[in-house]
A and B are shown apart, each in its own frame.
Chain A
């Protein structure tokens, strides 16, 4: 019997900067028996515009998203902040649009949206995804994972089942890394100070890899890990979970 059909919203950031995360999601979901589809018309959820105050510009992006994912029964998004954008803000944007069709579309969309680890644990009911990853890893539980989606320990439960992986607790894990979208540029000094706190904690774990359910935070953390020549790398949760004895997903 064929597995569930899953529509992948890769996010504009992952599509452009982190295609390996997208490939990992596809490989892993297929390994778990899902039929993955990537609707080619997708672009962006509108989060950057919305959060920076360009709510009028975010509106057509939301309408586009609603159109592209109108028929997918299950939608997987490997980014907590994009899921939070959709869950927390689309209903409000729909209200502002004063378009009953948009409100209905948002209402129908929300139950079909799953953040990547939610999809695995809640929808597919798996925590052991058969991964092998012989490295020490620390998890940055991003702000949106923690305080908006309330993912709880789902990412940890998934990582703990990975063979070969040693998971090291990140001190002060719940503190923001200082990314915050355009905050990282508009308030670069404070962003840098917050990032240096996060880096101190990451380096203190002596882990080889820092992971998260958000490539946006990881882009920011990895940028500083690279600038300071720490030799530690960042990897999205999906890329760890997709890894097998054959190695990381290419």
Chain B
């Protein structure tokens, strides 16, 4: 098995990557501005929906139901999709999925493919596999195009170029599209992208898409978007290949009623996406003549096996938790070392890799709970973060010094006598570090505290000492 989440297995630990990003004023400004805009829009349109909480419950329940019966629904999907003229492929990991897709492209003797809206293809590093096979992939989602031309990594699951501002995008387009006189107004940039992409839509014979939902009952796929570029990819080329994580299944067409309310409002703060494409197999009336679905596991069954963390797979990739997260808002997505950033990435990435890599991610959160509050399918992300921290410790991936400190603290806190003794000892131990009533430097692990903050020394009398003394005094 070669389960892979992009380059996450070799990415630096979160604190190391975050340190760099936190000192990048431009990225912080870009991320702050963009997430502010989406957050505010989301809050406005969510407040309009009277039964938002019931919708969240419904979304959660549908997804939980699917996960309990995933085998059944996947087979139902396969049967329905096949009946409608689609071809279903099963990929257990990234390599297998890449092999299937490369073979399908080769069978068309194509040297180019157009791609749209598939973070999952970044998860399996599909572009690299295509290029190695002599196939040039063109990203057609505007943000993905910016990332691709900028030789960059996505930093957000809905808005992958969120860390870039307009002037940076202008520079990338101007260089890579050879447009020295390109303007900097939004319409100049979209016009340039349009001209660049339109020609590819008309020429390239194979398209690769992702999916927002795969409907078991009918074998249909649903993709929502804002630009219409996905619609082009889904309808113009001769062959369409759709890469779908197995958790994207929903039972029935009518379940879209719930998800097409939850998703656009949570993701982009829109009541409805401008383009909602739903197609079933192939049709003689138009569209691709060949349609392939690649169902990808790549570690998802690892997640399924964990009772507490399983609901990670409820995720509909709206990105609301990223926009709400105070940690993500300081660093942007690159600190997470994975195509899946933010709170959902912090729980999904390590789990897909069976907790063998990315062990710093479950700690990349202050557990403030903002992610859980906005999650449209009520994934209890803070609870799962804590649960995964437990697995990190249990599977012996925690730093030794931390383990020793925690064991020592647990020993002290087990009895009041030990706690009392430790309080007295700490009062003495702090003396050499206390100057003018403040501690500004501490050694060892505690230096992390004093590197940015002062510490008021422990007062002469603990509360329990005060209480004990008071109990002995005669009371009026």
Please state if A54 and B410 are interface contacts (CB–CB under 8 Å).
yes
Interface size bracket, A side: 35 or more
Contact of B386 among A22, A53, A190, A197 (CB under 8 A): A53
Please state if B369 and A147 are interface contacts (CB–CB under 8 Å).
yes
- A148 CA to B22 CA, complexed, in Å: 28
Chain B residues 359-376 with CB under 8 Å of chain A are: 362-370, 372-373
Q: Does B453 contact A (CB under 8 A)?
A: yes
CB A55 to nearest CB in B, in angstroms, measures 5
Please state if A194 and B423 are interface contacts (CB–CB under 8 Å).
no
Please state if A57 and B462 are interface contacts (CB–CB under 8 Å).
no
Please state if A227 and B409 are interface contacts (CB–CB under 8 Å).
no
**Inter-chain contacts of A112 with B (CB < 8 A):** none
- A223 CA to B457 CA, complexed, in Å: 11
Please state if A15 and B462 are interface contacts (CB–CB under 8 Å).
yes
Q: Flag the segment in B52-60, B213-221, B387-395 that touches A.
A: B387-395
Contact of A42 among B365, B393, B416, B454 (CB under 8 A): B416
Q: Does A122 contact B (CB under 8 A)?
A: no
**Inter-chain contacts of B386 with A (CB < 8 A):** 50-51, 53, 89
Q: Does B327 contact A (CB under 8 A)?
A: yes
Please state if A38 and B452 are interface contacts (CB–CB under 8 Å).
no
Please state if A12 and B419 are interface contacts (CB–CB under 8 Å).
yes
Residue of A nearest to B445 (CB): A185
Q: Does B440 contact A (CB under 8 A)?
A: yes
Q: Does B199 contact A (CB under 8 A)?
A: no
Contact of A43 among B370, B413, B446, B467 (CB under 8 A): B413
Please state if A60 and B414 are interface contacts (CB–CB under 8 Å).
yes
Q: Flag the segment in A102-110, A172-180, A201-209 that touches B.
A: A172-180
Please state if B459 and A19 are interface contacts (CB–CB under 8 Å).
yes
Q: Does A10 contact B (CB under 8 A)?
A: yes
Using known A-B contacts A23-B466, A57-B406, determine if residue A187 contacts B423 with beta carbons closer than 8 Å.
no
Residue of B nearest to A20 (CB): B459
Please state if B330 and A193 are interface contacts (CB–CB under 8 Å).
yes
Please state if B466 and A179 are interface contacts (CB–CB under 8 Å).
no
Using known A-B contacts A183-B366, A191-B366, determine if residue A223 contacts B413 with beta carbons closer than 8 Å.
no
- B15, B416, B467: residue with the most chain A Cβ atoms closer than 10 Å: B467
- A172 CA to B344 CA, complexed, in Å: 23
Q: Does A48 contact B (CB under 8 A)?
A: yes
Contact of A53 among B28, B392, B462 (CB under 8 A): B392
Q: Is the interface of A mostly helix, strand, loop or mixed?
A: helix
- A48 CA to B402 CA, complexed, in Å: 12
CB A18 to nearest CB in B, in angstroms, measures 8
- A26 CA to B468 CA, complexed, in Å: 13
Using known A-B contacts A186-B448, A189-B19, determine if residue A16 contacts B458 with beta carbons closer than 8 Å.
yes
- Quick one: CB contact mask for B10-29 with A, threshold 8 Å, 1 for yes? 00001100110010000010
**Inter-chain contacts of A10 with B (CB < 8 A):** 463-464
CB B191 to nearest CB in A, in angstroms, measures 37
Q: Does A226 contact B (CB under 8 A)?
A: yes
Using known A-B contacts A15-B464, A22-B463, A190-B18, determine if residue A224 contacts B452 with beta carbons closer than 8 Å.
yes
Please state if B467 and A16 are interface contacts (CB–CB under 8 Å).
no
CB A85 to nearest CB in B, in angstroms, measures 10
Q: Does B190 contact A (CB under 8 A)?
A: no
Residue of B nearest to A23 (CB): B466
Q: Does B266 contact A (CB under 8 A)?
A: no
Using known A-B contacts A61-B410, A220-B453, determine if residue A43 contacts B415 with beta carbons closer than 8 Å.
yes
**Inter-chain contacts of A44 with B (CB < 8 A):** 413, 419
Contact of A194 among B330, B362, B415 (CB under 8 A): B330
Please state if B462 and A176 are interface contacts (CB–CB under 8 Å).
no
**Inter-chain contacts of A184 with B (CB < 8 A):** 448-449
- A180 CA to B362 CA, complexed, in Å: 13
Using known A-B contacts A19-B462, A143-B369, A193-B22, determine if residue A64 contacts B389 with beta carbons closer than 8 Å.
no
Chain B residues 339-397 with CB under 8 Å of chain A are: 362-370, 372-373, 383, 386, 388-394
**Inter-chain contacts of B28 with A (CB < 8 A):** 193
**Inter-chain contacts of B410 with A (CB < 8 A):** 49, 54, 57-58, 60-61
Contact of A51 among B367, B369, B459 (CB under 8 A): B367
CB A173 to nearest CB in B, in angstroms, measures 13
- Quick one: CB contact mask for A41-77 with B, threshold 8 Å, 1 for yes? 1111010111111111110110010000000000000
Using known A-B contacts A16-B462, A19-B466, A40-B416, determine if residue A194 contacts B327 with beta carbons closer than 8 Å.
yes
Interface on A for B, CB 8 Å cutoff?
Answer: 10, 12, 14-23, 26, 38, 40-44, 46, 48-58, 60-61, 64, 88-89, 143-144, 146-148, 174-176, 178-195, 197, 219-220, 222-224, 226-227
Excluding A40-B464, A219-B456, A227-B452, 5 further A-B contacts by CB distance (< 8 Å) are A16-B419, A19-B466, A40-B468, A58-B410, A143-B366
Closest 9 CB pairs of A and B: A180-B366, A223-B453, A53-B389, A176-B368, A22-B463, A185-B448, A147-B369, A19-B463, A57-B410
A–B complex contacts, Cβ < 8 Å, 23 sampled: A15-B419, A15-B423, A23-B463, A40-B467, A42-B416, A43-B416, A52-B389, A56-B394, A57-B406, A147-B370, A178-B366, A179-B366, A181-B366, A181-B367, A186-B448, A188-B448, A189-B18, A190-B22, A191-B366, A194-B366, A197-B330, A223-B456, A224-B452
Interface on B for A, CB 8 Å cutoff?
Answer: 14-15, 18-19, 22, 28, 326-327, 330-331, 362-370, 372-373, 383, 386, 388-394, 398, 402, 406-407, 409-410, 413-416, 419, 423, 426, 438, 440, 445-446, 448-449, 451-456, 458-459, 461-468
